[in-house]
Amino acid sequence: MQHLDGTMPCQRHTGRSSPHASRSVLELNRDAPAYICAVRILRVLQGVSYWVIEDPVEIAELINNNVTREWETDIAGTEDHDGRAWLDSLPERSWRLERVRLTRVRLDQGTMNYSDGRTGYSFVERLVERRRLLQRSLREFGIVIWPLVLRAEDRMLMDGYCRYHTLTDMKVKETFAYVGYPMGERFNRLSSRKPASRRNIEEYYRKHDDFRRYAMSNERRVKQLSRLYDSNRRYFGKRVLDIACGGGVLGFLVEKHDRSYVGVDVNRDMIGMARAHAEMAGSSNRFLLADATREVVGGSFDTVTLLGNALCHFDTKDFARLVGNVDPSVGRGAHFIIDYRDVVDLLYRRKWKSKLVERNKGMVTVSNTTNCDTKKGNLAGVSKWGDGTNRVEFTQAIWAPFIVELVMESRGWKLIKREEHSDWPGWLDIYRKS
Ligand SMILES: C[S@@+](CC[C@H](N)C(=O)[O-])C[C@H]1O[C@@H](n2cnc3c(N)ncnc32)[C@H](O)[C@@H]1O
């Protein structure tokens, strides 16, 4: 397969002259290895094949390193203030792979109208040739292209003018795009924080717990979540965002009730299982690999969920950030559904098991709680298995209803329903956005 990028980055948004103004499509192809280095997946959408990168961290790396270099070259020697501002904002953006409708993409008029009287170069004229070539390559050779690059705040097309026009000519309605969300001051602070340790979460769900318990293959989990959905159906709107979605069980249930669904999880094992099931079942649910405390999921949602005691992975600060990150995607009247273990109550009643011995296929895992940190608000523990040299350390946040409510209230969510959990000692809370 061949990569053909029909874009002229130098014309992206400046409308100014550039040393590369006449690069052809095929020359650009030689510049492509920047993209090719990244971990990529082949996806087909409306008959067009794309190489996509799904992990927001990898997309950010790609944009901040390789793609930026290309942009840098393109505006070098020009007085392109707009281009400079855009370039400088890149590291402060959080990137998503998204499916976007082409009608929602905006074009920069400076780019479209660009011409150079000296060389006779006209962007629009050159585009006609390039899109014809790209269309032929797509139709006849089935080449694979890359997503567009969009600025989230105004859906302005920053890279991919040739791809955009070619797809429009072909009457394609939807395409893939890397969408860059500005993170602002609040997010700058977040981005300097150490990323949540993915490997640790993955280890935790391989050794301490079993990630497969959160997949469709686990009938028990399917029944539990069906029950939860059935008794709270009226709080589920048309568009559901499931944070820490695990294997996406909730998504496959709500989809049957004609609801759209996006699941987010930081764990590759979980997202892998969810996507595999979605593919097998022909589901249109979307699953994103992302840290919910650091990333904002684009889109609009009526219901947000955080289920299966996923709250135990978030201390109060992380949880407040997570809830804040949801803000841009919900409106007044949206619902937030959370279930969680009441650790304060368990400790008081001496029901917190500080030593747990579990047997799985002949292997014994012993987990011990080693510390209670009331300043951070968590219990620390370690699980050991095999001969005891294999170990994973973990923390479990300490939650109780009054703390959850306080955080939710501070972010504008009002408690409208609270009931004891039917499956374990804890609570199911429902909040409404005011
Ligand atoms: C107990 S599982 C619950 C899965 C699912 N919600 C369910 O109810 O079946 C908790 C999930 O939280 C996810 N998780 C932990 N930290 C996260 C983070 N920072 N961002 C997104 N997901 C996270 C884990 O990977 C895990 O899949």
| DSSP-assigned letters across all residues of 126-164 | HHHHHHHHHHHHHHHH--EE--EEEETTTTEEEE-HHHH
Phi-psi region of 95 (alpha: psi -120 to 50; beta: other; left: phi over 0): beta
Whole-number Å distance, alpha carbon 308 to ligand 1 midpoint, is: 8
Whole-number Å distance, alpha carbon 340 to ligand 1 midpoint, is: 12
Share the mean pLDDT of the chain: 82
Q: How far apart are CA 118 and CA 116, in angstroms?
A: 5
C-beta 214 within 6 A of ligand 1: yes
C-beta 428 within 6 A of ligand 1: no
Residue nearest to atom 18 of ligand 1 (CA): 291
Q: Which residues sit opposite 427 in a β-bridge?
A: 340, 420
268 pLDDT exceeds 50?
yes
Q: CA angle, corner 284, sides to 293 and 237, nearest 5?
A: 65
Whole-number Å distance, alpha carbon 167 to ligand 1 midpoint, is: 37
Q: How far apart are CA 228 and CA 236, in angstroms?
A: 11
* Across 156-170, 280-294, 361-375, least confident range: 361-375
* Across 65-74, 92-101, 140-149, 252-261, least confident range: 65-74
C-beta 244 within 6 A of ligand 1: yes
The pLDDT value given to residue 40 = 66
Question: Mean per-residue pLDDT for 61-79?
Answer: 73
* Across 7-11, 92-96, 322-326, 388-392, least confident range: 7-11
Question: Mean per-residue pLDDT for 42-65?
Answer: 83
47 pLDDT exceeds 50?
yes
C-beta 310 within 6 A of ligand 1: yes
Residue 261 vs residue 110, higher pLDDT = 261
Whole-number Å distance, alpha carbon 332 to ligand 1 midpoint, is: 26
Residue 70 vs residue 223, higher pLDDT = 223
C-beta 287 within 6 A of ligand 1: no
DSSP-H helix ranges across 40-156: 56-61, 68-75, 81-89, 109-112, 123-141
C-beta 267 within 6 A of ligand 1: yes
166 pLDDT exceeds 90?
yes
Question: Mean per-residue pLDDT for 246-253?
Answer: 98
C-beta 265 within 6 A of ligand 1: yes
Whole-number Å distance, alpha carbon 318 to ligand 1 midpoint, is: 13
pLDDT tier for residue 77 given thresholds of 50, 70 and 90? low
The pLDDT value given to residue 265 = 94
Q: What ranges do the domains of the chain cover?
A: 9-189, 193-433
Whole-number Å distance, alpha carbon 144 to ligand 1 midpoint, is: 33
Whole-number Å distance, alpha carbon 357 to ligand 1 midpoint, is: 23
Question: Mean per-residue pLDDT for 245-255?
Answer: 98
The pLDDT value given to residue 39 = 52
Q: How far apart are CA 421 and CA 346, in angstroms?
A: 14
The pLDDT value given to residue 311 = 97
C-beta 266 within 6 A of ligand 1: yes
The pLDDT value given to residue 27 = 23
Question: Mean per-residue pLDDT for 121-147?
Answer: 90
Residue 392 vs residue 283, higher pLDDT = 283
Question: Mean per-residue pLDDT for 84-112?
Answer: 85
Highest mean pLDDT among 89-93, 356-360, 395-399: 395-399
Q: How far apart are CA 187 and CA 324, in angstroms?
A: 11
Whole-number Å distance, alpha carbon 245 to ligand 1 midpoint, is: 6
Whole-number Å distance, alpha carbon 199 to ligand 1 midpoint, is: 13
Question: Mean per-residue pLDDT for 236-242?
Answer: 96
Residue nearest to atom 14 of ligand 1 (CA): 244
Q: Could you give phi then psi for residue 237, rounded to 5 degrees?
A: -85, -170
Task: Encode pLDDT of 302-322 as tens digits.
Answer: 999 999 999 999 999 999 999
Closest ligand 1 atom to 305 CA = 6
Are 163 and 190 contacting, i.e. CB atoms less than 8 angstroms apart?
no
C-beta 305 within 6 A of ligand 1: no
Closest ligand 1 atom to 221 CA = 9
pTM of the shown model: 0.61
C-beta 138 within 6 A of ligand 1: no
Whole-number Å distance, alpha carbon 15 to ligand 1 midpoint, is: 46
* Across 219-233, 276-290, 343-357, 374-388, least confident range: 374-388
> Where does 9-189 sit in CATH, by number?
3.90.1530.10
Ligand 1 pocket test, pick from 270, 285, 378 with the greatest ligand atom count within 8 Å of Cβ, gives 270
Distances (CA, A) of 405 to 206, 314, 322, 346: 31, 15, 14, 18
pLDDT tier for residue 58 given thresholds of 50, 70 and 90? confident
Listed as own residue / partner, the contacts of 99-103 with beta carbons closer than 8 Å and 24 or more positions apart are 99/45, 99/174, 99/175, 99/176, 99/177, 99/286, 100/148, 100/150, 100/155, 100/174, 100/175, 100/176, 100/177, 100/179, 101/173, 101/174, 102/164, 102/167, 102/168, 102/172, 102/173, 102/174, 102/175, 103/173
- What percentage of residues in the chain have a pLDDT greater than 70? 84
16 pLDDT exceeds 60?
no
Residue 292 vs residue 32, higher pLDDT = 292
Q: How far apart are CA 129 and CA 8, in angstroms?
A: 13
Whole-number Å distance, alpha carbon 150 to ligand 1 midpoint, is: 29
C-beta 397 within 6 A of ligand 1: no
Highest mean pLDDT among 15-19, 321-325, 373-377, 428-432: 428-432
- Superfamily of domain 193-433, CATH level 4: Vaccinia Virus protein VP39 (3.40.50.150)
C-beta 318 within 6 A of ligand 1: no
Task: Encode pLDDT of 184-222 as tens digits.
Answer: 433 333 333 333 445 588 888 887 788 999 999 999 999
